[in-house]
Structure 1
Amino acid sequence: MNNKSIVIKKAWAKDRRFELKDGAGSDAVHTTPIYAYAVCILETDSALEGSGLAFTLGQGNEIVCSAINHLVKHIEGKEINELMSDFGTVYKEMADDPNFRWLGPHKGIVQLALAAIVNACYDLWAKSTRLPLWKLLIDLSPEALVNTLDFSYYEEVLTKREAVSLLNDQKEGLEARQSIIHSGYPGYDTSIGWFNYDDQKISDNILKAMDNGFTAMKLKVGSKDPERDIRRAELVRKIAGDGATIMFDANQQWNLPQAISICEKLIELNPYWIEEPTHPDDVQAHVTIAKQVDVKLALGEHVPNKIMFKNFIQSGCLSFNQVDAVRVGGVSEFILISLLSRKYGIPVVPHVGDMGQIHQHLVLFNHITVGHPALLLEHIPHLQEYFKFPVQIKDAKYTTPQEPGMSSDLLD
C-alpha cells in the first residue's frame, strides 16, 4: 500500500438531487421520490478528494447537508492513514457527539450525515492506497479491519477478539472465493415493477430483464387493494416462469393483520423473500409474521443502526439482511453489522441507496473475507449517467470495479 501522508484540510457537504421519470423509484409509501444524495467532500493537501454519500428522497436533503457541515470537525486536520488506523474511536466520537446525539441517538438526520462522512473517509483511504475499496478491505489484516469499527453496545454479542477470530476462521477457502472477482457478482433487477408502473410496463420490463440475463427480479406491492398486488404478482410469476427468483417488497405499508393476510396469499407464488412487510422498527411484529407465515423476510432498508440490527438478528425473524451503507453509519457500521450477521448465519443482501456503486465493493468483501454466500445484489439503473465510474452490468452480473476508491464520485 502507498502510505504517503495525506491530510484532510477541509470538508463540506453538497446537495445533489435527481428527478426520476415516469413512475421510476415509486413504492407503496414513497410515491413521488426524488433520488438525492447528501455528499461529503474531503479536500486534502494532495490532488486526491474523498467523496461519501448518504441517500435521501429529496426534501430534507439540505438538513442532512447542514449536519454534515457540523460533524466534519471530527475529521478535519487528520492524516487519512492515521485516522483509519483507529477509526473505530473517531467513529464513536462522531456518533456520540454530545450535542447531536440528543437528536437520535444513532438515527435520522445525524446518522445519515455520519454515513456520508464515514463513507468519504473510506473512499479517500482507498484512493490514497491506489486501490478500489474492495481490494483495500480484503487486503487488511483482521486486526486492522476491526480497528475501523465501533463495538460499543455489541460487547455481549460480538467482541473485537471474537470478530478477529471470525475473520481468521474464514481464511480457509478464501482463495477459492476470490474467483468471484473474475466471474462477477450476481445481480437482481429491482426496477421491473415500481409501484406506479402499469401492468403493461411491468410485462415489458420483465421481458427486457430476461433478455439481459436476469433470472431474479422484484415487484413493489402494498396497494390499498390487495387484489392489485396479487394480480401483479401473478403476472410476474407467469411471465418470468417457475424457475425465476422473485421477491415482493411492501415498503412497510401493512399493519400486522394485513401483513399476515397478504403474505399468506403471496407465498402461493413461491417468493424468494417478502421485504419490509410492516413498520421497520417493530421487531415483535416481524417475529409474529415469521411464526405465523411460512415465508422468508428481508429488511434493512429503513433499519437505521447497529442496535436495531442486533435486535432483528437475535430475534430469529430475519432471513435476509439488507443493511445499506448509505442508511446506517456508513461502511464502518455496515461491516460491523455484516460480521454479526455472519456469526448468526444470516446472509447479507444489501439495499442499494447508492445504486450499487459502493455495495458492489462491499459484497465482494463480504463474500471473500467474511464468508457470506454470494447471493444477489440489487440493481437500480436510474442514476448511472451521473456517476464518474458507473456500475457495469454484464449478463446480469456486476463487473468488478478497478478504479481507486469506492465508485461514489458524482459528475459535476
Structure 2
Amino acid sequence: MIKKIVIDDKRYRLDGDAGSDAVHRDPVYSYAVTQLVDDNGYTGTGLAFTLGVGNELVCQAAKYYAEQLVGKDIEELMADFGSFFNKLSNDQQFRWLGPHKGVVQLALASVTNACYDLWAKRRGVPLWKLLTGLSPEQVVATLDLTYLEDELTRAEAVDLLTTMQKGADSRKSILKTGYPGYDTSVGWFNYSDEKVRDNCKKAVDAGFTALKLKVGSEDFERDIRRANLVREVAGDEVKVMLDANQQWNLPQATYICKQLTNMNPYWIEEPTHPDDVIAHQILAKTIAPVKLALGEHVPNKIIFKNYLQAKAASFIQVDAVRVGGVSEFITVSLLCKKYGIPVVPHVGDMGQIHQHLVLFNHISMGHEALFLEHIPHLKKYFLHPANVVNGVYQTPVEPGSSSDLLPS
C-alpha cells in the first residue's frame, strides 16, 4: 500500500552549449520527480521533463495528483489503471488548466510513471519484462482510450495485441542483441562547425549508424552548410536526421526543406508549430519523398490521432515524460501500429524509461526496432544509467523503469 509521497524539483545545468536548439538556446534539463513509497519499502520514481523555469509548477501539480494515491495498493491500482488515469486527467476543476496538456499533463506523466516503476519493482522485474509478460487484456486495462473510439476501441486494441503475440517469441532476440541507438548530440545548435565535424567522427567511430543535427537558423545557408558537413563526414550509409525544433513557419519550412533535400535527410523533425496539423500535412505532401518526424511537443493522444489521420508524419516521436506517462505512450503506440507508422521516441528522460518501452513496442506490438535517441548529458545523475555500447542500448536488468536519480 502506498503510504507516502515525495515530490522533488531536480535541475541540471548542462556543460557548454549542449542541449541548445533553434528555439531553446539555454536549456536547464530538469525533472519534476514523483516518488511513491509503499509499506513494503519499495519506492516508485516517476519523471516529467522540463527545461527549468516552471518546473516548480509541475511539481505542485504532481503533488495534487499523487496525494490521491495514498492508501492504494499498486497491484489493485494497475489492474484497472486506465480508469484511474481517466479520473485524474479529467478532474473537473484541474482539467481546466489543460485539458490534457501543459503543466497538468506533465504532472500526470510524473505520477503515472512512478506507478509503473513501483509496479515493476514490486514484481522484482525491469519494466520491459513486466509489460511484455502482460496479457493483451491486462495491457489494455492500463490504458484510457476515451476520445479514440472512432479509431481504436478496447476490443480492437485487445485484438491487435493478440494478433501480434504470435511472433513475439521470435522478436525477443532483441534482448540479446540490444536496441539500436542514434546520436542526437553531434550537432547541438550552438556548436561550431568544427565541433559538429569532430562529434560526427566520434559518433561514427563509436558505432552509431544514425546521427541528428539541429537546424532552424535565421540564415538558411548555415543550415544547408552544416547539413552537408554532417553528410560529408558521416558518409552515405549513415542516416542523418535534421531537427528544426518548430522554428519555421510553413512558407519557410517549404523553402528550406526543399533546399535540404540534396543531402538526403532520413527525416526532417518538427519543422513548424506542433499544434498545426494541417501545416504538417501540406508540407509532407509538398516535400515528399522527404519524410517528417514529430511528437516531442505533442502533449496527448488526441493530437497524435489527428496527425495520423492527416497522414502528416512518417515517424512518431511520442515521449512518456511529455504525454501522460507510460500509459498514454502505449496508447499512442497502438494507434501508430494500426496506421503502420514507426514509433521513434523523443527521450526527455535521456532514454532511461524509453529503453524499456521500445522493447515492449517491438516484442509485444511488432513495431520495427528502428532506433532510439541517445542523449548522454545526464547519465552521471542516474542510479542505473542507460548503457550504450557500439551504438546499441544494452537490455536493462534492474527492477523498475531505470528512473531512480542519485541523491544530490
**Structure 2 residue 55 is matched with structure 1 residue 61:** yes
Secondary structure of 2:402's counterpart equals coil
Partner residue, 1:109: 103
Identity fraction in percent? 64
- How far residue 317 of structure 1 moved from its aligned partner, in angstroms, is 1.3
- Give how far 1:46 is off: 1.5
Consecutive aligned runs of 4 or more in structure 1 exceeding 4 Å deviation: none
How do 1:332-351 and structure 2 match up within 5 A?
Answer: 332-351=327-346
Please tell me whether residue 196 in structure 1 is matched to residue 190 in structure 2.
yes
Q: Secondary structure at the match of 2:361?
A: helix
- Of 170, 175, 180, 2:164 maps to 170
Q: Structure 1, residues 184-229: CA drift from partner, whole Å, max 9, x if none? A: 0000000000000000100110011011001100000000000000
Query: Which of 43, 48, 63 is 1:49 aligned to?
Result: 43
- 1:297 aligned to 280, 292, 298, which one? 292
Give, in angstroms, the shift of residue 74 of structure 1: 2.5
- The answer on 1:402 being equivalent to 2:397 is yes
Which residue of structure 2 aligns with residue 312 of structure 1? Answer: 307
CA distance in 1, matches of 2:180, 2:62: 34
Q: Which amino acid in structure 2 is aligned with residue 285 of structure 1? A: A
Find the counterpart in structure 1 of residue 134 from structure 2: 140
Cα deviation digits, residues 107-146 of structure 1 (max 9, x gap): 0000000000000000000000001000000000000110
Q: 1:252-287: CA deviations, max 9, x gaps?
A: 000000000000011111111000000000000000
Q: Which residue of 2 aligns with 1:74?
A: 68
Matched residue SS, 1:173: helix
Tell me, in whole angstroms, the C-alpha distance in 2 between the residues paired with 1:154 and 1:333: 12
Letter of the 1:157 partner, please give it.
E
Cα distance in 2 for residues equivalent to 1:141 and 1:134 = 14
Residue 366 (str. 1) matches residue 323 (str. 2): no
2:165 is paired with a residue whose SS is coil
Contact residue 74 and residue 90 of structure 1 kept, 8 A: no
Task: Give distance in 1, aligned partners of 2:229 and 2:21.
Answer: 18
Q: Secondary structure at the match of 1:171?
A: helix
Matched with 2:150 is 156
State which of 86, 98, 115 in structure 1 corresponds to 2:80: 86
1:20 and 2:14 aligned: yes
* 1:216 partnered with 2:214: no
Match of 1:384 in 2: 379
Partner of 2:270: 276
Letter in 1 for 2:278: Q
Distance of 2:233 and 2:240 partners within structure 1: 11
Matches within 5 A, 1:4-19: 7-19=1-13
Distance 1:114 1:100 in 2: 11
Equivalents in 2 of 1:126, 1:262: separation in Å?
46
Q: TM-score, normalised by structure 2?
A: 0.99
Shift of 1:291: 1.1
Distance in 1 between residues matched to 2:166 and 2:6, nearest whole Å: 42
1:231 aligns with 2:202: no
Deviation at 1:72, TM superposition (A): 1.4
Q: Check the 8 A contact 1:234/1:269 in 2, yes or no.
A: yes
The secondary structure found in structure 2 opposite 1:170 is helix
Aligned to 2:32: 38
Match of 1:259 in 2: 253
The one-letter code sitting in structure 1 at the alignment partner of 2:54 is: G
**How many residue pairs are counted as aligned between the two chains?**
406
RMSD of the TM alignment (CA)? 0.6
